[in-house]
């Protein structure tokens, strides 16, 4: 079997070919993504895509997707005043327990323990909570504080 990467220039070429997939994953991180959908981003078969992705990154597409979701969840635990359940949904996990299981496997601690050890940077900087419970739906539903957003011509409403 011939290796996909025989030379460093080949690796750089393959990485550049996978760049649209990596960007797509980052934009759609909270969504359910499939290998055929990812393969379509670079116009190759799902089988060849998995081989190419693994050869280039050292991870399967599923492993890469989970690692990106865990990393985003970790950042949200440090920077946001969102509940762990909301963070789980916002980062594409099926449930809080799924996030907790994978987070513990990666870091050796639960998201709650991680948050307590690493503090909430928003609170330290004096910012108020970015979400507030909706009176209509109770504590289950959150809506953003409108004062935290601004209108951008390119992206629409974005968080300050």
Backbone angles phi, psi at 156, to 5 degrees: 80, -140
Among 2-16, 19-33, 80-94, whose mean pLDDT is lowest?
2-16
From CA 35, how far away is CA 44, in angstroms rounded?
11
Structural contact between residues 5 and 14, judged by C-beta atoms closer than 8 angstroms: yes
What is residue 81's predicted lDDT score, i.e. its pLDDT?
86
Q: 106: burial class by Cβ within 10 Å (0-12, 13-18, 19+)?
A: middle
Pairing of strands 138-144, 149-152: unpaired
Give the tens place of pLDDT for each residue, 140-156.
333 344 444 454 444 44
- pLDDT band at 135; cut points 50, 70, 90: very low
Q: What is the pLDDT of residues 18-58, one digit of tens each?
A: 889 999 999 999 999 999 999 999 999 999 999 999 988 89
């Amino acid at each position: 079997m011939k290796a996909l990467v025989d030379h460093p220039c080949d690796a750089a070429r393959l990485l550049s070919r996978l760049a649209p997939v990596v960007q797509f994953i980052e934009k759609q991180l909270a969504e359910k993504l499939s290998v055929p959908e990812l393969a379509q981003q670079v116009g190759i078969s799902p089988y060849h895509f998995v081989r190419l992705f693994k050869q280039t990154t050292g991870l399967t597409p599923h492993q890469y997707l989970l690692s990106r979701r865990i990393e985003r969840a970790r950042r949200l635990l440090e920077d946001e005043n969102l509940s762990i359940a909301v963070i789980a949904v916002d980062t594409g996990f099926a449930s809080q327990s799924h996030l907790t299981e994978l987070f513990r496997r990666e870091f050796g601690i639960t998201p709650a323990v991680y948050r307590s050890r690493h503090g909430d940077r928003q609170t330290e900087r004096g910012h108020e909570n970015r979400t507030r419970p909706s009176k209509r739906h109770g504590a289950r539903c959150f809506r953003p504080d409108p004062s935290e957003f601004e209108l951008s011509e390119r992206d629409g409403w974005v968080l300050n």
